[in-house]
Amino acid sequence: MTDADTTVDDIDIEALRERALTTLTTARDRTTLLTSCVDEPELTAQVSPLMSPLVWDLAHIGNQEELWLLRAVGGRDAMRPEIDGLYDAFEHPRSERPSLPLLPPAEARQYAAEVRGRVTDVLADSAFRGSRLTEAGFAFGMVAQHEQQHDETMLITHQLRTGPQALTAPDPEPVPLFTGPSEVLVPGGPFTMGTSTEPWALDNEKPAHRREVAPFYIDTTPVTNGAYLAFIEDGGYDDPRWWTKEGWAHVRRNSLVAPLFWRREAGQWLRRRFGVTEAVPLDEPVVHVCWYEADAYARWAGRRLPTEAEWEKAARHDPTSDRSMRYPWGDADPAPEHANLGQRHLRPAPAGSYPAGESPLGVRQLIGDVWEWTSSDFLPYPGFRAFPYKEYSEVFFGPEYKVLRGGSFAVDEVACRGTFRNWDYPIRRQIFSGFRTARSGAV
């Protein structure tokens, strides 16, 4: 084909094909890193009943890719139909997976690699049209996001393991102590929440709809370890005034005294991070706190957790143009100067980092570093429609789960945007979760 013969559609298709291949390759490179840095016995071991053996995640990633990209999109015959049940996340809870007849590490790697080889052929032939599943490469984006989400889960497994350090990464660049305002006012009024145009957005992010939000103040940065330490030292874990009834019962039942992985030794607070014990850095966002802990801190501070709508308005709304952007900094894809994403680092960056990523109102680190708990239950948006399967979102809707926003240092950019919604039980602490606080305000 000559340049004169190239059409806009051809260019778009090639760009989509390149984007799909790049995101799939990035995810697989990360999966390979996470499963090749430990010996085989650790791949098959279960470090916690909350997590799968790493080898289960590896084969599950391959199986989901086969189901959606080879069978559903490519119309290919099943490669290993006998293992579908083994790697169905709803059929087998994590605590039971070590007892299943799982593929051994070498076979799991071979299976995932063979699936990927065939997927590359499907991708080369795809016209990215003809169905909702293939339009704009959605299925390829969905599978890449799925793999990256499991990569984050596997990174959590690495954090939970007690062996020597297996992963390394450079620390974020040091920054001067943040001296900006502690909070900003987000004006009241309507804004557009969710999306109807982001091509790889998942079903729970849709549809876009107008949401009215009263004026409120929100922290400029996530709550830091130093700020959270003040709550601990003021007896926060011993005072039921700050806790919900369920939260207080959880604290007492589990003898919680600090964030997960913290311990006090010789008058100093230490934490364990990916096999290394270090002093708790006071300027970093606090991480590994559950919703009950975040809520209790906010009450102690005379504040509250933001609602999901408040969080998204702070992260996406440009008051000058009255437009909702893809990210706090605008519509451009994340770059290293915008946010701490993609496992480039194995820790949050100091509070106040990434000024290039701040919102129009000056709120920083809304994307990356730590998932941020909100006060909201995980519920569908008005007009929600499950796609392509109910088990991604619909079965989780309800008051049992709280919404987290913004992503963490463990999240890849393909699975993180201003509309992306995460959710978990309010007791969860092994996840890379932190928070920021808010308070109601007036114009």
Q: Is the pLDDT of residue 7 over 60?
A: no
User: Which of 312, 257, 267 is closest to 289 using CA atoms?
Assistant: 257
What the block records as the tokens of 239 is: 């005072």
Specify if 435 maps to a domain: yes
CATH number of the domain enclosing 414: 3.90.1580.10
Binned at pLDDT 50, 70 and 90, residue 11 comes out as: low
Cα–Cα distances (Å) from 5 to 2, 10, 83, 352, 381, in that order, read 5, 9, 46, 50, 44
Indicate whether 304 and 392 sit together in one domain: yes
| Host domain of residue 272 | 174-443
Q: Is the pLDDT of residue 6 over 60?
A: no
Specify if 166 maps to a domain: no
Q: Is the pLDDT of residue 9 over 80?
A: no
Indicate whether 372 and 227 sit together in one domain: yes
Residues with Cβ within 8 Å of 36's Cβ and at least 6 positions away in sequence, in order, are: none
* pLDDT per residue as tens digits for the range 56-74: 999 999 999 999 999 999 9
Domain count for the chain: 2
* pLDDT per residue as tens digits for the range 130-175: 899 999 999 999 999 999 999 999 999 999 999 899 999 999 988 8
Indicate whether 72 and 25 sit together in one domain: yes
Model pTM score: 0.95
* pLDDT per residue as tens digits for the range 250-273: 999 999 999 999 999 999 999 999
Indicate whether 29 and 144 sit together in one domain: yes
Residues with Cβ within 8 Å of 376's Cβ and at least 6 positions away in sequence, in order, are: 307, 308, 309, 402, 403
Environment class of residue 369 by beta-carbon count within 10 Å: exposed (0-12), middle (13-18) or buried (19+)? buried
Indicate whether 183 and 155 sit together in one domain: no
